[in-house]
Chain A
Amino acid sequence: MTLKDLKKTEEAIKDLILFDSSWKNKKLTGQFPQKVLQRLKIYKELVKNSFDSLFTSIYPHTYKLIKKDWTNIYKKYLKECPPDSPMLNRVAKKLPKFLSKQTDVLKKYPFISELAQFEWLEVEVYEREETNGKRKSIEQLNPIHEIYKFEYPITKIVNMIDKKQLVKNIKKENLNLIIYRDPKDLKVRLFELAPGTLAYIELLKRGLTHNEAIDILIDFFKINNQDKNTFKKNMGNLKKTLKQNQIIVTN
């Protein structure tokens, strides 16, 4: 067996294990004796079981809704998004984007891609690498976070699935969330952001200080001089709340 033959064998085995349609390709299956093909099916099953376990653990709520169509979704997903990372859980990373193009599933569950995105972001924030920037003893926005503007009430949908309620006729309802990692216990937390809070956090994200952010918001919301002090007091309370929740942290 030359290296060229070995490469051909590797490619055929990869296709037969990962891509269901390849078993209909006699050029591929014809490369191997029956006994090898039978045993290749063991590897195919082991990989499928491993991937099934992965997807159900990363996307427990999404999976519950698409369970009936899972076999077809899985086959199509692997074909469009073959595993390109040595880290097993990254195999599942592209499911939200993939689902955003699956019209059949979207007809039934128009929020499905957002639900998957929510579940993926929890994983991503949980395991995100810290960037070792210069450690300054300053207050700043928790560096390990994602802000997402959902069009559907995703947290309500998650609760409905947890309570085994029928998830049907869900109307659009904006939900702004910050998903972040608590530096004290390393757990992932969620915080719903009202529009004003979102605007404030987005300003902090750009590197502005609390006072600079307040000045911009006063301008933006055209807060008059009479109400400025109340506004500043409220923003001070908001900052306290965000600090208590580890969304604003001191390094």
Chain B
Amino acid sequence: MSLKDLKKLPYLGVGLGLRRQLFQDILKHKKDIDWLEIAPENYIHRGGEPIDRIKTAMKYFPVIPHGLNLSIGGTEDFDPVLINGLKKFFKLLNPPWYSDHLCFNYVDKTYIHDLIPLPYTKEVVKLVADRVKKIQDIFQIPFLIENPSYYMILDHELSEADFISEILERSNCGLLLDINNVYVNSRNHKYDPVKFLNNLPLERTVQVHIAGHLNKGKIIIDTHGESIITEVYKLLGELLKRCSPKAILLERDFNFPKFTELVKEIKKIKKIEKLLKKAA
């Protein structure tokens, strides 16, 4: 997929992660939410209420898949159970793009069920770029890689920004820029988040994630279980001065507040986006 193809993708607006516990409230607040994101691994090879929920959601919203277990950075061959499940599910969803995290989590036919960071080396760049091309061939829609939060560095032959940039350019894919992860990583690994953004090919940003995190003092954990803090909103503003993504998503996975609080966050994100679009 070329940069041209990425630019032709539809503009979706500001959306919310679809969680079972939020579904009824989401339906009551349709006018405030532009689109929904789901983890496809929670729906493949399933029927009943989960699929019924997706079909209902699709009547009112674009529903976009954001994966958890593709292990795009791993050496293990892609799991056919996952790939076949996704192929079937995407026939229902018909999404404009699909994304997953720049990590590995499938080794020796075993799933770790978390997002393990990759060594930042040239060898891994080649590996990931080849695998991204395979995925784009399989699904025939643009694939986006997300910058994950990470708590350890395995190898830094390349900087994080260079590592991500080289993969994006080499595989010609899109970027899902998680702005909360940029903040969390910049605090945990002590670097300037704006400089980090400046070193990425932000013209490849198709989608943005924004979320809350848990500050434990010595370390910050990317939990998606808290409200977004001011610094992360500011960083979003910095990002939107530099690029115009097609979609922004508020992630909230647990510890849910009153739904009106989530609507407030969505409205704030929309306000920031509108202001910066006007200024551009």
Contacts and interface: CB of A to CB of B under 8 A. Distances in A.
Interface residues of B, number: 44
Nearest to A14: B107
B48 A186 contact: yes
Interface in A79-108: 82-88, 91
B82 A86 contact: yes
Contact of A36 (B48, B68, B154): B154
B107 A47 contact: no
B112 A14 contact: yes
B123 A3 contact: yes
Nearest to A17: B112
A13 B151 CA distance: 13
Contact of A84 (B51, B109, B219, B221): B109
Interface size class of A (residues with CB under 8 A): 35 or more
A129 interface: yes
B75 A129 contact: no
Contacts of B85: 86
Q: What is the predominant secondary structure among interface residues of chain A facing chain B?
A: helix
Interface in A2-41: 2-3, 6-7, 9-11, 13-14, 17-18, 35-36, 39-40
Contact of B49 (A6, A51, A186): A186
Interface stretch (B30-38, B114-122, B159-167, B190-198): B114-122
B139 interface: no
A129 B45 contact: yes
Given A83-B113, A86-B82, A6 B127 contact: yes
Interface of B: 41-42, 44-52, 68-69, 74-76, 79, 81-82, 85, 104, 106-114, 116, 119, 121, 123-124, 127, 151-155, 157, 219, 221
13 contacts: A1-B119, A11-B107, A36-B152, A42-B221, A43-B151, A86-B69, A87-B46, A88-B113, A91-B113, A127-B46, A127-B49, A128-B46, A128-B48
Interface of A: 1-3, 6-7, 9-11, 13-14, 17-18, 35-36, 39-40, 42-43, 46-47, 50-51, 82-88, 91, 126-130, 144, 181, 186-187
